[in-house]
Amino acid sequence: MSPSLILNYVVTDAIQKVAESFECKPVEGMLSHMLKKHVIDGEKAIIQNPTEAQRKEHERCEFEVHEVYAIDVLVSTGEGKGRELDTRTTVYKKKDIVYQLKMKASRQFLSDVDKRFGLMPFTLRLCDDEKKAKMGVMECVKHELMQPFTVLYDREEKDLVDEELKTLLATSASRKAAKKKKKKAGKLMAENAQMDQGED
């Protein structure tokens, strides 16, 4: 092996070490794929936090000059075991599979997705008729013509206790709302300062 080439598992282990140094865990089994033109999940991939079975099954490969990868590093303060709850995804990707769908709405949806997005991910909100798209996507997923990008959850572990930080996180990104809250916060600080002086 050329010294300039790196095995994908070197990156897997490095991600694991960095996450552990922050007392976190990478989400189990997540993949970072090699990219090609119009393809976001090429054959080479980096796996993070693999189980023993995944480590045996996942193919080892070397990176080569001019290869491009989308590095998806998902880290959890919990156990790193993502699980689906009731949240429905709206992001999908068409798979390169042929199957004759029964429903007209499903066939129309698949045809529109093929023309507009090809094999790239898309959200149902971008479809002309979102209601019909939600109907059509169900049959496509059932027959594995569409890959859903599922919403994953982990066990809740750490909670923010600092009241000042909680207030900061609750502030709006809107400039008008931020100005109002800034005024209010300034007023509160001034009142607190006066109370402190009164106590002295």
Each residue of 67-80: pLDDT tens digit?
999 999 999 888 88
Q: Phi and psi (nearest 5°) for 181?
A: -70, -35
Residue 3 has pLDDT above 50, yes or no: no
Each residue of 89-133: pLDDT tens digit?
999 999 988 899 999 999 999 999 999 999 999 999 999 999 999
* Owning domain of residue 63: 8-81
d(C-alpha 14, C-alpha 136), whole Å: 42
> Do 21 and 74 share a domain, yes or no?
yes
Q: What angle do CA 131, 136, 140 make, to 5 degrees?
A: 145
2 lies in a domain? no
> Do 66 and 97 share a domain, yes or no?
no
- Give the confidence band of 84 by pLDDT, cuts at 50, 70, 90: confident
86 lies in a domain? no
Instruction: Give the chain's domain count.
Output: 3
Residue 127 is classified by DSSP as S
pTM attached to this predicted model: 0.63
CB 101 within 8 A of CB 131: no
49 lies in a domain? yes
- Give the confidence band of 181 by pLDDT, cuts at 50, 70, 90: low
Burial class (CB in 10 A: 0-12, 13-18, 19+), 74: middle
- Provide the angle, in degrees to the nearest 10, between the axes of the packed helices 130-142 and 104-116: 100
Q: Who has greater pLDDT, 43 or 166?
A: 43
Give the pLDDT score at 178.
58
In the listed set 55, 81, 107, which residue is the last one of a domain according to the structure? Answer: 81
